[in-house]
A and B are shown apart, each in its own frame.
Chain A
Amino acid sequence: MGSATAPGATATTGPALLEVTDLVKHYRIRSGGSMAHSGPPLRAVDGVSFRVAAGETLGLVGESGGGKTTVGLSVLRLIRPSGGSVTFEGRDVLAAGRTEMKALRQRMQIVFQDPIGALDPRKSIGDSVGEGLRIQGLASRAQSHQRAAEVLDRVGLTAAQSRSLPHELSGGQLQRVGIARALALDPRLVVCDEPVSALDVSIQAQIINLLLDLQAERGLAYLFIAHDLALVRHISDRVAVMYLGRIVESAPAGELFDNPAHPYTRALLSAVPADHPAAARQRIVLRGEIPSATAPQRGCPFAPRCPDAMAKCSEETPEFKEIAPGRWAACFLND
């Protein structure tokens, strides 16, 4: 789908804050030696389109190797996509010059999965949180520390903790720091890449609440990347399901979970462990695992594992199209 009708457009009223069209990221795999000799490319992201409105949460789910993280990093131009376009607040992110990009970075931020790995072990918490303000020339060192203390206070940490080094805090506290760092620049969009999956169960809920509160206060938009479906359902307005570098289905969260349209979504949902031992469920156990994204493919990428595959599925690739207002899917079963 080329132009103005990016999927999910109808589900939101406001203009898109972020619009991603036909995003592609191929990796050339160097096979041995330093001289460039490349095999088939790894198609980490293979034509992904979506939009996120201001103040909205788009959940991006799927299994590992599906390309979720690559999408998140590409949106922020932390890796260079091979094709497609990313438009944020009407500006072309991929074509932005150095100065424009630096300015854009104030408006779009990221929170990582591994709270300890996302913080420089040698820098104090306050230093890390205030770093963005200093880079952007918005504050002197002293001012940035003042501002960092305010943001840390907002995420539930004390002024004393701002002088700590990362290893002195717990995982949950560190993730609060990661969120504070992203917030310090007062962004409009935050990419949350598995922000709670490294945390203990009792801590996850605290962080999710914090993210919800901040969204309500500041009108933040989230691109929420996760593999935990219950969590994604809880926090998202809309959800997009990725499989092998493509979005196979997107819909408002409730509809997608209650009435999935794509067989992969159905399988994914049925694989989620029961939330009660008595919840007898019809389980669709998929054969095999996600294949490598380097294998040349024809037809629907999910066809080899699909319990409902038809002859046509291994011949033609189904188009990702609107099957009902606000609901998009790439599957012949919906024709």
Chain B
Amino acid sequence: MALEGPAALTERAASSRGPAGSGAVDHHRARGAKGLWRRFASSPVAVVGLVLTVLFVLVAALASYIAPTDPFSFAGTPFEPPSPKHWLGTDDLGRDVFAGVVHGARTSLFVGVAVAGASLVIGTAVGGVAGFAGGKVDDLLMRFTELSQVLPRFFLALTVVALFGPGLRNMVIVLALTSWELTARVARSGVLAVKELEYVTAAEALGSSPWRNLRTHVLPNTIAPVVALASLQVGGAILIEASLSFLGLGDPNVISWGYMLNNAQSFVRRAWWMSVFPGLAIAVAVLGVNLLGDALNDFWNPRSRTSGAPA
């Protein structure tokens, strides 16, 4: 092996604390934020993801300026094809499709970010406490996590909307409550690894309480891969929201890409623009945030690829 396994040897060479290795790595890291950015920017996928995501967020944030027309107002005659006046045409009620697509970005972004944010907060809390406390608390919380993991989120969302009526808030709550398990697992394994490190013991030796240790040393050093994972859930949440709205279970008072698609169903042949543009918007937005999430995930947690990305 030592003899005919140059791969093993060079692997060692690469990982050895030897000269080139450590010197190069140290120096690289010493560049701090600039070095991080360079590493990130060296991946074309990451850059595409970042550009699309920024575009998505800008459109959502500046919706009222980009498309001052109220997406629910009757801005023109029904079924106008794309024209300089209505860039993406009008729908069956004469509403501007461009305004719908632009304002729909807000809904999608809100759902995505709210769900991912909730998943981040709940997952970190549950996983962090489970990993840090260990023992019985860990066993209990992880069993609970497994239980929530087996709930099918889409059908649960369907049921809740059917029972409590369609509404954006209900949908976000259901999605948030069903998407934190994976985040919790990643947070837990991170905490398990970090809490054994000597700097945590050192802080304890200085008189730091366990709670303070968790807050100031353990969580800040485990949060990066958890955030990366949560960012991957933005896309999933956007898709589920769109699917539910497409099925007519969305919030009828809020414009969304799924709602527009639902509305376009009957007119696919007559007015292709009614379905194509919201569809494209969903594809581009989800692609953007997923590429970015993937890049962040690879960046912080090279092993995440094998553990499978969330839906």
Contacts and interface: CB of A to CB of B under 8 A. Distances in A.
| Best-surrounded residue of B26, B29, B139, B207 (most CB of chain A within 10 A) | B207
B198 A118 contact: yes
B197 interface: yes
Contact of B204 (A78, A112, A117, A122): A78
B221 A105 contact: no
A110 B202 CA distance: 7
Nearest to A168: B30
B199 interface: yes
Contact of A185 (B26, B206, B208, B220): B206
Interface in B190-244: 197-199, 201-208, 212, 217, 220-221
Interface in A83-122: 101-102, 105-106, 109-110, 112, 114, 117-122
A132 B208 CA distance: 8
A118 B199 contact: yes
A106 B207 contact: yes
Interface in A247-275: none
Nearest to A110: B205
Contacts of B201: 73, 78, 110, 112
Interface string A180-217: 01000100000000000000000000000000000000
Contacts of B202: 110, 112, 118-119, 178, 181
A117 B202 CA distance: 10
B139 A34 contact: yes
Interface residues of B, number: 20
Contacts of B217: 120
Interface residues of A, number: 29
A181 B204 CA distance: 12
Contacts of B212: 135
A237 B308 CA distance: 57
Contacts of B203: 120, 131, 135
A189 to B, nearest CB: 11
A167 interface: yes
A47 B205 CA distance: 24
A76 interface: yes
Nearest to A170: B26
Contact of A105 (B197, B199, B207): B207
A178 B202 CA distance: 9
Contacts of A109: 205-206
Contacts of B32: 165
A143 interface: no
A73 B202 CA distance: 11
Nearest to A114: B198
Contacts of A121: 199, 221
B135 to A, nearest CB: 10
Nearest to B203: A131
Contacts of A165: 32
| Best-surrounded residue of A121, A131, A167, A181 (most CB of chain B within 10 A) | A131
Nearest to B22: A171
B203 to A, nearest CB: 7
Nearest to B201: A78
B16 to A, nearest CB: 15
A78 B205 CA distance: 7
Contact of B208 (A118, A122, A135, A168): A135
A122 B206 contact: no
Contacts of A117: 197-199
Given A117-B199, A118-B198, A122-B220, A76 B205 contact: yes
A140 interface: no
Contacts of B30: 167-168
A334 B308 CA distance: 64
A82 interface: no
| Best-surrounded residue of A73, A112, A114, A135 (most CB of chain B within 10 A) | A135
Contacts of A64: none
A3 to B, nearest CB: 29
A106 B203 CA distance: 12
A136 interface: yes
A110 to B, nearest CB: 5
Contacts of A131: 203, 206, 208
Given A105-B206, A167-B30, A185-B206, A112 B198 contact: yes
Nearest to A76: B205
Interface in B153-204: 197-199, 201-204
A135 B29 CA distance: 30
Given A167-B29, A168-B30, A135 B207 contact: yes
B197 A135 contact: no
Contacts of A120: 199, 203, 217, 221
A106 B206 CA distance: 7
A128 B197 CA distance: 15
Interface in B23-47: 26, 29-30, 32
A118 B200 CA distance: 8
Contacts of A105: 205-207
Given A114-B198, A117-B199, A120-B199, A132 B206 contact: yes
27 contacts: A34-B139, A76-B205, A78-B204, A78-B205, A105-B207, A106-B207, A109-B205, A109-B206, A110-B201, A110-B202, A112-B198, A117-B198, A118-B202, A120-B199, A120-B203, A120-B217, A122-B220, A128-B199, A131-B203, A131-B208, A135-B203, A135-B207, A136-B207, A167-B26, A178-B202, A181-B202, A185-B206
Given A135-B208, A181-B202, 6 more contacts: A101-B207, A105-B207, A117-B198, A118-B198, A119-B199, A185-B206
Nearest 7 interchain pairs by C-beta = A132-B206, A105-B207, A118-B198, A102-B207, A120-B199, A112-B198, A117-B198
